[in-house]
Amino acid sequence: MSKLILAADRLILARALIQKARDIPLPEDGGKFNFSYIAQVKDYLRQARDMVKFIPSTPSATVEIKDDARKILAEADQASQEILH
């Protein structure tokens, strides 16, 4: 059985994953067109989205946590645009 992670902890982990995606060094060969680089960035951002995607529809979450989850989803999309485009 998987371990239960609280919504507040999920927000923290999601932000850390987005930061990890931003911190991946741009490779010398191919730059932004390196498939391994793109896959790593997309994987971290996918993990961040997956951490918080159900929080806005959870009835037990507070309004503040739901707003933070929506902000993180938007931040992940923005990070994807900044890093990969």
Tell me: the pLDDT tens digits for 6-43? 999 999 999 999 999 999 999 988 777 899 999 999 99
Q: If you average pLDDT over residues 65-82, what whole number do you get?
A: 97
Maximal C-alpha separation, the chain? 48
User: Quick check: is 1 in a domain?
Assistant: no
pTM: 0.91
Region 55-77: mean pLDDT is 96
| DSSP code at position 61 | S
Structural domain for 51, as ranges: 7-84
Name the domain count of the chain.
Answer: 1
In a domain, 30, yes or no: yes
Average pLDDT along the chain: 94
Residue 2 in any domain: the answer is no
Q: Name the 3-class secondary structure at 50.
A: helix
Residue at 16 is within a domain: yes
